[in-house]
Chains A and B, each alone.
Chain A
């Protein structure tokens, strides 16, 4: 099946730092999604990307759909404690979402 490789696996950063994580797939897809999951909760959609090269922002978050359509990255600027959680990239095909393995973000004061 489709594999999504997400890196890094975990990150420990200080409040105020910028964060970057990325995701690569083995195939070409038309939609990249980025979700965040807090402890005890389901994933929440952060950003959706629909076109190769697209760069989209949502507050301090910025995501890009790679030109090759096989990768995407998510940047978080000026991190704050509530950014703590697990970030997943995901691809949408027909009825289902395929998720990456996640990047666990820890923010220290």
Chain B
């Protein structure tokens, strides 16, 4: 059984640029959640996708957007990057209402 995978592992961008992060869910899971973890903090919920539809959103601006594909993999897109967007971005997959299993994350640095 393959666990949750994320790509890329590290990324450096400059302010104003756009970024796309990718996540492949664990086999059998149809729900993907995205979290932002700033240095020294706990993960903060961005949004969740279930069956290709957004199913809950945290307190993040609209420039954070996402997609889920028919194979349940997902993308997180961030437009107009700001310095404060520098963080570890975590993806978690699950069945609805069940335990969320996290990937290793993508570390984004915005200069």
Q: Which residues of A contact B (CB under 8 A)?
A: 1, 4, 40-45, 48, 88, 90, 94-102
Which B residues are in CB contact (< 8 Å) with A4? 42
Q: Told that A48-B99, A100-B42 touch, could you supply 16 new A-B pairs with CB distance under 8 A?
A: A1-B59, A40-B105, A42-B90, A42-B102, A42-B105, A43-B43, A95-B33, A95-B50, A95-B55, A96-B48, A96-B56, A97-B35, A97-B92, A97-B100, A99-B44, A102-B41
Q: Which residues of B contact A (CB under 8 A)?
A: 4, 33, 35, 40-45, 48, 50, 55-56, 58-59, 90, 92, 99-105
Task: Establish whether residues A40 and B104, one from each chain, have CB atoms under 8 Å apart when the complex forms.
Answer: yes
- Which of B4, B41, B42, B99 is A42 in contact with, Cβ under 8 Å? B4
List 19 A–B pairs whose Cβ atoms lie within 8 Å, in order of A's numbering. A4-B42, A40-B104, A40-B105, A42-B4, A42-B90, A88-B42, A90-B42, A95-B33, A95-B45, A95-B48, A95-B50, A96-B56, A97-B33, A99-B42, A99-B43, A100-B42, A101-B42, A102-B40, A102-B41
Which B residues are in CB contact (< 8 Å) with A102? 40-42
Task: Establish whether residues A94 and B92, one from each chain, have CB atoms under 8 Å apart when the complex forms.
Answer: no
